[in-house]
């Protein structure tokens, strides 16, 4: 019967908007009152400008480019290989 049904628009729309507002408020409070909570602890180590760390590597989304550039000793060859790999990925679809 119609009395057992819940209308979608007013109920679920308000429920979703309320949930979104709670999420945004929670994130705002986290950022404003404890901005260092989700940070990487390595960001607080002072840098030594005379020494490059040996363990440096790019983020995961640049690792393919880093691997291509490191595998070819010639700088121009590495850049050309990187451009060709991107072009191949663009041509495939």
> What's the pLDDT tens digit per position in 11-37?
999 999 999 999 999 999 999 999 888
| DSSP-based three-state secondary structure for 77 | helix
Output the pLDDT for position 24: 98
- pLDDT for 37-61, tens place per residue? 888 888 888 988 898 877 788 999 9
pLDDT of 8: 87
Give 37's Cβ-side CA count (13 Å radius). 9
**Contacts with 72 (C-beta within 8 Å, 6 or more apart), sequence order:** 78, 81
Q: What is the pLDDT of residue 17?
A: 97
All domains of the chain in start order, with CATH: 2-91 (1.10.287)
């Amino acid at each position: 019967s119609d009395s057992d049904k819940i209308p979608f628009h007013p109920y679920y729309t308000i429920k979703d908007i309320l949930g979104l507002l709670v999420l945004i408020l929670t994130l705002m409070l986290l950022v404003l009152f404890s901005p260092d909570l989700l940070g990487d602890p390595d960001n607080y180590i002072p840098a030594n400008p005379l020494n490059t760390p040996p363990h440096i590597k790019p983020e995961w989304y640049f690792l393919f480019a880093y691997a291509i550039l490191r595998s070819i000793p010639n700088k121009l060859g590495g850049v050309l290989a990187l451009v060709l790999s991107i072009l191949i990925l663009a041509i495939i679809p």
